[in-house]
Amino acid sequence: MSLYKFDGNRYTEANNENVRRTEGGRTVKKKTAGGSDGSAPQIQRREVPAAEASPQEGLTAAQAKELREAGWGNERVESPTKSDRQIIRENVFTYFNLIFAVLGICLIAVGDFSDLIFELLVVANTVIGIVQQLRSKRTIEKLSLLSANRVTAIREGTEIPVRAQELVRGDIVELCAGSQIPADGSVVLGQVQVNEGLLTGEADAVTKAPGERLLSGSFVISGRCRMRLEKVGGDSYAAQLTLEAKRGHAPAKSEMMRSLDRLIRVIGVALVPIGVALFYNQYAVQHLGLRQSVVSMVAALIGMIPEGLFFLTSVALAVSVIRLAQNRTLIHEMGAIETLARVDVLCVDKTGTVTAPEMELREVAALDPGSYPEELLRETLGAFFKALPPDNDTARAIEKAYPDGPAWPAVSTVPFTSAAKWSAVTFEGRGTFVLGAPESVLGGEFAPLEKRTRFYAEKGCRVLLLAECGGAREGRLEGIVMPAALLVLENPIRKNAPKTFAYFHAQGVAVKVISGDNPVTVSAVAAQAGIDGAGEWVDARELKDDQALVRAARKYTVFGRVSPNQKRKLVRALQAAGHTVAMTGDGVNDVLALKDADCGIAMASGADAAVKVAQLVLLDSDFSSMTRVVAEGRRVINNIQRASALYLVKNILSLFLALITLIAGFPYPFIPAQLTLISALTIGVPSFFLALEPNHDLVRGRFMHNVLRRAFPGGLTAIIVILFAELFVYTFGLELTELSAICVILMAVNGVTVICYAARPLNFPRLALIVSMSAALVVSMLTMGPAFSIQPMTAPAWLVCVVLTALVVPVQMGFEKLFDRCSERLRARAERSARRRTARETLRASRRK
């Protein structure tokens, strides 16, 4: 037995090292260890004599059962996915969950149960991650079940409908117009025209006669045949291509997730030594006692861990996933939401994205109005498909345009065949009319119409000729053929396509059309859809090497005759040029590019392989919904950036305060309960309101830079005022409980000030949020002070508190202005560097020319 080997552009037959040939045409597949790298799952097959069933009889029930039990069934073979147990394990057993568990055990060990409230956030964050991943997995399973198609198999001379998964190697299957080919095999009886667009990207019909190969994933568009299945399950073309796409590393994480990962690594490395040093300092140096030392150490470490930031990110992304699901969009990976918000190049296919998949009759151009007036043409076309039922997309489009045609009696009919490329009907008393490809109908007399038909073809249309003749029989027209009209059909531009592409153009997103069709046709269609630069096209067959392809990626907008591997290379070339690339696709030929794109987007109506590889699936297969998807991505990422600054203020303060405590020997001024109060009312609640607000601005800059820019002014202000509080308390000999109360008030005032800056520009809802949080802080401190260890203060302590509170706003304003000025200088420097780089590239290009 031979399998397919991927050569970069397509699969060719090659002997597989895990398959050995035996006597008598029997094959055995060795036990393989497939799995985590994307290889096929382990399949065990035993020797079964090859069955050569006749096209008329097919296999017997006993043969089919034996083959299925021996492992030669057409079961769906997927790249291994995470089980429910794996998803739960990966979300529960994380490094930070371990840290929080250890900190909780430390508090329990010293009898401090009131400060364990932070563990609730840890549990909630974990549960949200598990639920979202399980939900996505279940949705995909439902999609696969709904898309399972039934085919007609020949068993013991009888046609029986079976599910594609119930077929076996050697089965005889009957195919007609509209049938999807369930596995690889050969035509044994009849002839069909096949659309292999989902495999090759080319929409042209391919004729398949007895002895020729049929590949799984393609569709029959006309004719009828019987095929013998030869490569089933994981051996088929589509399965091999899917596994190739899944093999290798996981999809790249989004910029925000990479930034958060780096933050986790830095904090994770620092936590253990800082925690040990803090405990030693508090217990052995300052002699604060075991309980106080443990509580202070836990408070410092909790302050350094942005647990609320991860919780906020999980919730905001989960809410976004739900909103998108309500708009018929499925998110496989949460990171895809951010990637979409940053996309600046969108690669699309022509059919199904720019145009609708169904054909439409655009025009009927009369060639002899005197002999064939408009009314006669309309009646003839309506009657034609009442006498001869349509068996392909083109015929169905014409029938749809003339549903009320007259029921003229038909003497004889000649169905369409891919060899003749026409069909004909002889009407009683009205003559014979033929409809088909102009060059096939007219033969040597086609030249006078060639220029006119080419005019329509260059606009992306399909042209048929309606003519009258003396008679017709299979494969031959009789008498004089008299042209009556040209029928112009097209896949119409999607209704919302121009508006959608105008939106992306206005948002600064460049659109690249990558198709397997003729580049002239694709360019014409792109121009009709309003895609900027549609006139810049190239035939990918002329791009002989990778360097030529990289240059073309920068220069052209439309790419025609593109192979699957070239699609992948185009995506990589655009990424290498510094772009964030999204790729839409619906075919098996798209899966390699979908995998490598920063964000792969599949149409649910397309190939199952594309749906599984993509990070995002449009369930209604409507490309216009992309505007809502991108807007939602921008909303959630912009708001997460804004709200994240609130969390990092606390982390910056806690980190520097821990270092100051170690170096200067000051006691740590907070306990976990106090940090929980401050975090809830100046970070947690405000951040959730800010994270769910409308915000559709283009995401600019790098995530961590943007967040730190917003967080550092508040963090540095908090460090300065609390450091002064420590000095004043030490100078005036105040109690540690008073220091703690002063620092809580200073943190509250600083937190409200940070909210004011993060919520700019202020409107009524945001002002209401600020007033509400301020009131909640005051009420909590006055009515529940003892619960948070906030003790009454003496007059000197109040004096220190009032003076330092008055410094919070001016100090933070000063830092804001300083950081604004630095950011402007850095932005101006980056823009100058970009202009110089562009000028150098332009100069080099002109020298090459």
Which residues are part of the catalytic machinery?
349
Token duo for residue 794: 């003496």
**Do residues 435 and 384 lie in contact, with contact meaning Cβ atoms separated by under 8 Å?**
yes
Q: What are phi and psi of 470, to 5 degrees?
A: -75, -20
Q: Which amino acid would we find at residue 221?
A: I
H runs (alpha helix) in 665-793: 672-679, 685-691, 703-732, 736-758, 764-783
Separation between Cα atoms, residue 551 and residue 538, nearest integer Å: 11
Q: Which amino acid would we find at residue 159?
A: E
Could you tell me which residues are beta bridge partners of residue 471?
478
| DSSP helix/strand/coil, 297 | helix
Q: What are phi and psi of 174, to 5 degrees?
A: -95, 135
| DSSP letter assigned to residue 42 | P
Token duo for residue 248: 């290798």
Separation between Cα atoms, residue 779 and residue 504, nearest integer Å: 49
Separation between Cα atoms, residue 610 and residue 593, nearest integer Å: 10
**Do residues 574 and 559 lie in contact, with contact meaning Cβ atoms separated by under 8 Å?**
no
Separation between Cα atoms, residue 192 and residue 207, nearest integer Å: 6
- Name the pairing type of β-strands 410-414 and 422-427: antiparallel
Closest CA to 347 of 677, 45, 145, 597: 597
| DSSP helix/strand/coil, 76 | coil
Separation between Cα atoms, residue 134 and residue 573, nearest integer Å: 34
* Close Cβ partners of 581 (under 8 Å, ≥ 6 residues apart): 343, 345, 346, 347, 571, 574, 575, 597, 598, 599
682 alpha-carbon distance from chain centroid: 35
Greatest alpha-carbon span in the chain: 118
Burial of 823 (0-12, 13-18, 19+ CB in 10 A): middle
Cα 712 to Cα 257, 708, 719, 818, distances in angstroms? 20, 6, 10, 11
Separation between Cα atoms, residue 648 and residue 637, nearest integer Å: 16
Token duo for residue 447: 């030249």
Scored b (16 or more CB within 10 A) or e, 740-760 reads bbbbbbbbbbbbbbbbebbbe
| DSSP helix/strand/coil, 367 | coil
Separation between Cα atoms, residue 621 and residue 615, nearest integer Å: 15
CA angle 169, 173, 174 (to 5 degrees): 170
Cα 628 to Cα 163, 341, 501, 632, 657, distances in angstroms? 37, 11, 13, 6, 44
- Name the pairing type of β-strands 150-155 and 172-176: antiparallel
Task: Give, for 583, the enclosing helix (H) or strand (E).
Answer: strand 581-585
Q: At which residue do the structure tokens 């399998």 appear?
A: 3
Angle between helices 626-664 and 672-679 (to 10 degrees): 150
Token duo for residue 819: 């950081």
